[in-house]
Structure 1
Amino acid sequence: MPGSTSDRSSGPLSAPGPVEVRRSARRRRTVTAYRESGRTIVLIPAAFTPAEERRWVAQMVAKLQTREERRRRSMGGDAELMARARALAAAHLDDVPRPTSVRWVDNQQRRWGSCTPADGSIRLSSRLRTMPEYVVDYVLVHELAHLLEAGHDARFWALVARYPRAERARGFLEGVESARADAADNGDAEDAGDLVD
């Protein structure tokens, strides 16, 4: 058995969802934390005492929250998102797509973004706020491309491919989707799969 896990409920640290501690005999000194399916996972060495575990869990949850808050601030509100979309359209899509609105929404749990070409509106899931900027930019380019090509045909993907980090961002999102699907298979998630449409 490479390690063991224990659950810690979120307390004064206000971590989103429960905190799960995973101990590993192979891990000697390093401590890692990340979010997975609504949980905060903290990986620690098996040899840590309960006091060391408490100290490191608190430190890593705080560090993760600080990083996520910094990303949220850098993404800004809807006005900043619109400016970002316009800059991406100019840089990668010949400045042709002209969205009428680009905004963050909290009600997209199965999609990263959506677009209504008829009225030019684009919506991005607020879950993207904690992800790297190049991933947010990819989703924006994807939705901007829908203002030019409604379906997912070869012309559409050629437009999306103009964004230089498209393949890397798709890989990142596929990894997130895979982790969510695995968690759903294990009964750990309410819904699995995130789509960009």
Structure 2
Amino acid sequence: MRSFARRRQNTSRLLPLLRSPLLGELMAWICLHPEMNYSLAELARRFNVSQSAIGKEADRLAEAGLVRSEWRGNLRLLRAEPSNPLARPLTELLALTYGPIAVLADLLPAVPGVVEAYLYGSWAAHYAGEPGPPPPDVHVLVVGDADGAELAGAADLAERQLGRAVHLYQVSSMEWRWPERDPFLMSVRSSPAYALVGAPR
């Protein structure tokens, strides 16, 4: 599987208005979880970057009034700023572009039996640099023995949050480890993908 690294991308491909993929992922995570506070350390771990990188982006977003930044002792916390007039349209833009990361990376780890999960297909190709408008749907490969009904429930919730179809394809850990007999799995392994669960992002 050709996983791709945001650090190699100088500009955002999903939303060219943004300076970088990290900024898109960070803003989507905060804006699509408006009820939550996140520390710089939490966000740095989630996106596999340094706290200073998150802090620099947080400074810019706070200065623009797009996020709230507050200190609790030595802990700096960030959360969405719903009173900003840009909040609603910006959140809609982020849901259409970086939303699959923010929503699915939150929902799928909570489903028992999910060992790994990857965004693949048109969304992943677009993230990796393929030109064009935002894909109309999202494809996710789930590895493990999770209950099908629970996965379907997570997909339904994600569809409501993202406003687009979410297609989950589940395989066992053994099938994923030895994909040679399945042309579909071989094609997924050779295509761009974004790790949501179980692998470094």
User: Normalization by structure 1: what TM-score?
Assistant: 0.25
Rg comparison, structure with higher value: 1
The structure showing larger relative contact order (alpha-carbon pairs under 8 Å, at least 6 residues apart) is 2
User: Normalization by structure 2: what TM-score?
Assistant: 0.25
